Amino acid sequence: MTSFLKILSLFLITGLVVFIAAYIYNGPRKTTSVQTSAGKEDNTGQPIKNSEITLPILMYHYIRNFQDPNDKIGTDLSVSPDNFNQQMAYLAKQGWQTVSLEDLANYFESGKTINPKSVIITFDDGYADAYQNALPLLEKYKFKATFFIITGKVEKPGYLSWSQIAELAKAGMEIGSHSVSHLDLSKLDTDKARVEIYNSKITLEEKLNLKITAFCYPSGAFDDETIQLVKNAGYQTAVTTVNSKEQTKENIYKLKRIRVAGSESIASFEKSILLE
Ligand SMILES: [Zn+2]
In order of their start, the domains of the chain are: 52-274 (3.20.20.370)
**What value does the mean pLDDT take over residues 154-173?**
98
Q: Which helix (H) or strand (E) holds 196?
A: helix 190-208
pLDDT digits (tens, 9 = 90+) for 27-59: 443 333 333 344 455 555 555 578 999 999 999
Q: Annotate 119-131 with b (16+ C-beta within 10 A) or e (fewer).
A: bbbbbbbbbbbbb
pLDDT of residue 273: 83
How many other CB atoms are found less than 10 A from the CB of residue 74? 15
Share of the chain above pLDDT 90, in %: 78
pLDDT at 17 over 80: no
Q: Measured in angstroms, how far is the CA atom of residue 159 from the centroid of ligand 1?
A: 12
pLDDT at 183 over 60: yes
Q: Measured in angstroms, how far is the CA atom of residue 238 from the centroid of ligand 1?
A: 13
**Contact by Cβ (8 Å): 260, 79:** yes
pLDDT at 13 over 50: yes
pLDDT of residue 40: 52
How many residues are recorded in the chain? 276
At a CB cut-off of 8 Å and minimum separation 6, what does 12 contact?
Answer: none
pLDDT digits (tens, 9 = 90+) for 54-107: 999 999 999 999 999 999 999 999 999 999 999 999 999 999 999 999 999 999
**What value does the mean pLDDT take over residues 241-245?**
95
Q: Measured in angstroms, how far is the CA atom of residue 35 from the centroid of ligand 1?
A: 40
How many other CB atoms are found less than 10 A from the CB of residue 132? 14
pLDDT class of 274 with cuts at 50, 70, 90: confident
Mean pLDDT of the chain: 88
Q: Measured in angstroms, how far is the CA atom of residue 109 from the centroid of ligand 1?
A: 27
Q: ∠200-139-55 over CA atoms, to 5°?
A: 65
Q: Measured in angstroms, how far is the CA atom of residue 21 from the centroid of ligand 1?
A: 68
Q: Measured in angstroms, how far is the CA atom of residue 110 from the centroid of ligand 1?
A: 30
**Contact by Cβ (8 Å): 92, 141:** yes
**Distance between CA atoms of 77 and 149, rounded to whole angstroms?**
16
pLDDT of residue 263: 86
Q: Measured in angstroms, how far is the CA atom of residue 179 from the centroid of ligand 1?
A: 9
pLDDT digits (tens, 9 = 90+) for 247-266: 999 999 999 999 999 989 99
pLDDT class of 244 with cuts at 50, 70, 90: very high
**Distance between CA atoms of 167 and 153, rounded to whole angstroms?**
17
pLDDT of residue 14: 53
pLDDT of residue 2: 56
Q: Measured in angstroms, how far is the CA atom of residue 129 from the centroid of ligand 1?
A: 15
